[in-house]
Amino acid sequence: MAQYQLVEKHAIEHHNEYFEVRSTQNEQDVESLFFVTNEENLEDVATAIVAEHWPGIKHWTIIPHRKDR
């Protein structure tokens, strides 16, 4: 089971590194979920998030974000 924590968009500033999974199924309805994880395989984590929160979405991408200091 993938270990992750969803993060509200307004709270991402508190994390040095976070990730975004963005639906790319429909360009008019782009949605994003932000998360933090210690897992090595981001693809597995993103797959688990999509399956749980967007069961009908087949096209998505992972976008890493790192806060530069």
20-65 pLDDT, tens digit each: 999 987 777 789 999 999 888 999 999 999 999 999 899 999 999 8
More confident site: 2 or 69:
2
pLDDT the model gives residue 65: 87
Task: Look at residues 10, 19, 58 and name the one whose alpha carbon lies nearest to residue 39.
Answer: 19
Instruction: Give the per-residue SS3 of 39-58.
Output: CCCHHHHHHHHHHHHCCCCC
What global pTM score does this model have? 0.83
pLDDT the model gives residue 27: 74
